[in-house]
Amino acid sequence: MASSMTMTTSFFGGAVATKPATATTHCSNQLAVRASMDPEKVLTESSNTRRGLVLAGMAAAAASSVAKVAMADTNIVLPPDYEPTDPGAPDVLIIAQVAVSEYNKQKKTSLTLVSVLKAEKQVFAGVSYRLVISAREKTFDKPNNYLTVVYAQAAPTSVQLVSFDPLLL
């Protein structure tokens, strides 16, 4: 009776299971080798193969995405820079007043708007205003300067205070 070994390899080339093959002899003196495997090993092997195919597919998709991003750099749309605008314009004064009012609500302060010193706006999916304003506390005589950014979609009905920071002089 002849004996041999059966070795099964995984998708990545490593050995998964080895098992001695069983040999049977037929009446015609031909040797037929039949490899027998446990059902658990078959399940493990097919799961490893599926897992390997899924991982290979994910790697290919990731490589494709990286290549597309690298090639798509010229298609990126950046927002335009801020452009100077008139600090005395009515829409700028309304936005500045809304910014001070919203800051007062958030920080529970009592600032009052004195003036708008500098105004810039950026039009991109709405209007973003960057303002340097002068405001004072009701109890102090000297006003302080603040840099504020306000985003307005349909100004002045939808206005969002993005930042409100004191400027140190």
Fold of 83-166: Nuclear Transport Factor 2; Chain: A, (3.10.450)
pLDDT at 138: 80
- Residues contacting 166, CB < 8 A, separation 6+: 144, 145, 146
Boundaries of every domain in the chain: 5-75, 83-166
* 84-127 pLDDT per residue, tens: 999 999 999 999 999 999 999 999 999 999 999 999 999 988 89
Cβ-in-10-Å burial (0-12, 13-18, 19+) of 58 comes to exposed
pLDDT at 28: 45
Which one has a higher pLDDT value, 9 or 31? Answer: 9
pLDDT at 158: 83
Q: Are 143 and 157 in contact (CB under 8 A)?
A: no
pLDDT at 33: 42
Which one has a higher pLDDT value, 14 or 131? Answer: 131
Closest CA to 155 of 91, 106, 60, 107: 91
* 53-82 pLDDT per residue, tens: 666 667 666 666 555 555 555 677 777 899
List the alpha helices (DSSP H) in the chain: 39-71, 90-107
Cβ-in-10-Å burial (0-12, 13-18, 19+) of 100 comes to buried
pLDDT at 67: 54
* 124-168 pLDDT per residue, tens: 888 999 999 999 988 778 899 999 999 988 655 688 999 999 998
Grade residue 35 by pLDDT with cuts at 50, 70 and 90: very low
